[in-house]
Amino acid sequence: MRFALIDNNRVEAQPKQQGLCPICSQPVIAKCGNKKVWHWAHRGIISCDSWWEPETEWHRNWKNNYPTEWQEIVLFDEQTGEKHIADVQTIHNLVMEFQHSAMKPEERISREKFYKNMLWVVDGTRLQRDYPRFHKGMENFRRTNQQGVYFVDFPDEVFPKSWLNSTVPVIFDFCGLSTSEQNEIKNTLWCLLPQKDVTRAVVVGLRKNDFVQITHNRGQLFIENDKSQQKPIHPKQQIILQPKRIMRREPLIDWIQRKQASGKWKPRRKKW
């Protein structure tokens, strides 16, 4: 974890310091080596949060896109007594989990049920096969009349199967820690929307700067019906999220659902 409590203040790890865990209030010690990002850890291998995983530099870089007071927020379920630390929770109650390690489907489902209004950002560079599979699968992307929005037939040929049944948006980051990447595909964040049909899906391409700005300003990634509760978004965001339909006041999610319900979108597997 990045923060521990010292004199009831959230403090980052520094050499030879000791603090208290914000979940269980037990002592934690600062781990300040040369190989891993500086962090706090319980003594021994026991962790009070069953969802805890070692934090990488990729995690830390993503968190740094948001204020420190939004990072590592302890959330509590009053009915079950369950506690977990969310990577980021914004002031609009949007939870973001940055996932590098492999995760069992049961845990993914549990996290989505616990956090509810959330989204995943997945490190697409962890496994070497993930980006080549995605790049090859882009041949099957079908453009829509909304800029940056694509229909994808048989998404199991494009994305890791462990994420296909997610009930919340899953954003794949294929750029990782690279700061000089000139590949436009890798520089784009690719959002896989929740799907009801395993043979087809909707994917949205987002610029990282736009994604960060949107998640700063709104409680949901895409526009919903109730516009009265939404803050204005920057015109550059509209180019991606609501390009041609913005004048018709039709939210992106509604447009996608209408297309799916019409039956005009039929998946077709490409013949190689």
* Phi (first) and psi of residue 104, to 5 degrees: -70, 145
pLDDT at 44: 67
Dist CA 201 CA 195 (whole Å): 6
Q: Which residue has the higher pLDDT, 249 or 186?
A: 186
- pLDDT-derived band of residue 29, with 50, 70 and 90 as boundaries? confident
Spell out where 55-199 has E strands: 71-76, 83-89, 95-99, 118-123, 141-143, 149-153, 170-173, 188-192
Summarised one tens digit per residue, pLDDT across range 130-164 is 999 999 999 889 999 888 999 999 999 999 999 99
SS3 (DSSP) at 119: strand
**Amino acid letter, residue 65:** N
Q: What is the mean pLDDT of residues 90-95?
A: 96
| pLDDT greater than 70 at residue 188 | yes
Summarised one tens digit per residue, pLDDT across range 191-217 is 999 987 778 899 999 999 999 999 999
Q: What is the mean pLDDT of residues 48-60?
A: 82
pLDDT at 241: 41
Least confident of 6-20, 223-237, 253-267: 223-237
Q: What is the mean pLDDT of residues 230-259?
A: 44
257, containing H or E segment: helix 252-262
Residues 6+ apart with CB under 8 A from 208: 173, 175, 187, 189
- pLDDT-derived band of residue 87, with 50, 70 and 90 as boundaries? very high
Q: CA geometry: angle at 192 spanning 69 and 114, to 5°?
A: 45
Task: State pTM to two decimals.
Answer: 0.75
Domain ranges in the chain are 1-48, 50-213
Residue 84 and residue 51 in contact, taking contact as beta carbons nearer than 8 Å:
yes
Q: Which residue has the higher pLDDT, 91 or 226?
A: 91
Residue 182 and residue 133 in contact, taking contact as beta carbons nearer than 8 Å:
no
Pick the closest to residue 232 from 244, 246, 253 (CA basis). 246
pLDDT at 251: 53
For 191-198, which contacts have Cβ atoms below 8 Å and span 24 or more sequence positions?
Answer: 191/221, 192/155, 192/159, 192/163, 192/164, 192/166, 193/169, 193/256, 194/166, 194/167, 194/168, 194/169, 195/155, 195/164, 196/260, 197/260, 197/267, 198/155, 198/156, 198/164, 198/165
Helix runs in 11-123, H state only? 57-63, 105-115
Q: What is the mean pLDDT of residues 49-66?
A: 86
Residue 250 and residue 158 in contact, taking contact as beta carbons nearer than 8 Å:
no
3-state DSSP helix/strand/coil % of the chain, to nearest 5: 30, 25, 45
**Amino acid letter, residue 35:** K
Share of the chain above pLDDT 70, in %: 79
pLDDT at 169: 96
Positive or negative torsion for Cα 262, 267, 268, 272: positive
Summarised one tens digit per residue, pLDDT across range 210-225 is 999 999 999 999 875 4
| pLDDT greater than 60 at residue 232 | no
